[in-house]
Structures are given as structure tokens and as C-alpha cells.
Amino acid sequence: MTRKLLAAAALLAAAVSAFAQPAPVKAEGAWMRPAVQGQGATGAYVVLTASEPLTLVGASSPIAEIAEIHEMKMEGDVMRMRAAPEVKLEPGRKVELKPGGLHVMLMALKMQVKAGTQVPLTLQFRNAKGQTSKLELQVPVQVQGGNNPHKH
């Protein structure tokens, strides 16, 4: 980047300081499970492909008080869920958030999540230099992953 461009980028960053840079990540087949009124939590899934080394460090959505990256793993015969605070993305390699694996866990839901609607979801990333970026998604709410080419 030239010095002039850097200066412009810095000015832009100052002007929109509340917003991180858009993440160099492609998202495919995003979907979220519906949740009825009173249901505490739901999951969101998406296939991510970064174009540079990145770490997925968090998520947020206006429908939930808490959004965390979780991972399901078999421990012996028992499927357990745990927080995955840092998920590494290698350039060009698909990372699937899917049922039974990595997922965005949306907890303390503020509202019903109806099938057929779309829910905003923000994913936060950090690069090797420690700079943060964001990916803003509109996630369709549906019972099962639709246009995800990797079906289970």
C-alpha cells in the first residue's frame, strides 16, 4: 500500500471507528435453526473460506444476548459441547460450521427465531498482526441447511 492510501485508510478508520474492516472471508450456505418462544438457544452454521490467515474469535447477533463459537466433540461415547474461542482459518481452506461440529451458539435469545426470516449475524476475525475484521451476514432461518453443498 502507498503512503497516501495508508493515510486514507487511517482517516476512514477514524471516521468509522466503531466498525472494523470487512473480513477477507467468503461465507457460503449460512443457515440458522428456528427457535420457538421461550427456547433459550439456537445454532447458526456457515462454511467459511478465508483468503489470508485469520482466526475466528467471536460472533454477535441482535437476537441473542450471548453468541459464542462452540464445538461438538465425541468424548468416548458422549457428544460434548465446549467453547472454541479461537478457530484458525488457513487461506483457501474451507472451515465448516455444521451440526455436530463447530457452530455459532446463540444464547439468551431476545426473541422468537422464525423459519423463513433472516437474522443478522456478525463474525469477528483477527489476523496475524492482531487487526480485527468483521463479516456481516444475513442468515436465513430454516430447519436444515439448504444450499450447503456439504450435506450430512
User: Does residue 106 interact with Cu ion by CB under 5 A?
Assistant: no
CB of 66: closest distance to Cu ion in angstroms?
11
Residue number with CB closer to Cu ion (12 or 81): 81
- Type of residue found at 34: P
Q: What secondary structure, in 3-state letters, does 42-54 show?
A: EEEEEEEEECCCE
CB of 100: closest distance to Cu ion in angstroms?
11
Instruction: Please count the other Cβ atoms lying within 10 Å of the Cβ belonging to residue 149.
Output: 9
C-alpha cell, 61: 447477533
Residue number with CB closer to Cu ion (64 or 133): 64
Sheet with 87-89, side-by-side order of all strands: 21-22, 132-140, 118-127, 54-60, 87-89
Residue number with CB closer to Cu ion (95 or 133): 95
User: Does residue 84 interact with Cu ion by CB under 5 A?
Assistant: no
Stretch binding Cu ion (CB under 5 A), from 7-15, 47-55, 79-87, 116-124? 79-87
User: Does residue 81 interact with Cu ion by CB under 5 A?
Assistant: yes
User: Does residue 83 interact with Cu ion by CB under 5 A?
Assistant: no
C-alpha cell, 120: 443478522
C-alpha cell, 1: 500500500
User: Does residue 105 interact with Cu ion by CB under 5 A?
Assistant: yes
User: Does residue 108 interact with Cu ion by CB under 5 A?
Assistant: no
Nearest to 32 by CA among 112, 90, 108, 129: 112
User: Does residue 70 interact with Cu ion by CB under 5 A?
Assistant: yes
Dist. CA 113–CA 102, nearest whole Å: 20
Residues that bind Cu ion (CB under 5 A): 70, 81, 105
